[in-house]
Amino acid sequence: MANLNRFDFNLLLALDTLLSERSVTRAADRLCVTQPALSGSLQRLRQHFDDPLLLRVGREMELTPKAFRSERSKVSFSSLKMRLRPKSTALKASSPSSLFATSS
């Protein structure tokens, strides 16, 4: 495993999506990136973890044992995402008259 000082933590979202979708194309669609861009991310993840992570078996992608262990720990990643997500700043309208001034 490579040094964490050089690890691109943006790849964790790609890894999370790849492990759940088990398809580079579907994961790319879900992340709103191109398939070649996500393939590049998968290549960097493979280099970092020194593991293929996903292997083509027929028309399917199978998780390697290391990827399977990573998928089981996704609960931690999901809870981290929830903690880092900004709080909603949606307006709470108590009454329309308190939000808008009208002229007569």
Query: Tokens 């199978």 belong to which residue?
Result: 62
HEC string for the chain:
CCCHHHCCCCHHHHHHHHHHHCCHHHHHHHHCCCHHHHHHHHHHHHHHHCCCCEEEECCEEEECHHHHHHHHCHHHHHHHHHHHCCCCCCCCCCCHHHHCCCCC
CATH code reported for the domain at 4-84: 1.10.10.10
> pTM of the prediction?
0.64
Instruction: Specify the pLDDT at position 37.
Output: 97
Q: How many CB atoms lie within 10 A of CB 7?
A: 14
pLDDT averages per 10-residue partition of the chain, 104 residues? 70 89 94 96 92 90 84 58 60 54 59
- Give residue limits of the domains in the chain: 4-84
Please name the amino acid found at residue 33: V
Q: Can you tell me the distance from the alpha carbon of 24 to that of 95, in angstroms, rounded to the nearest whole number?
A: 48
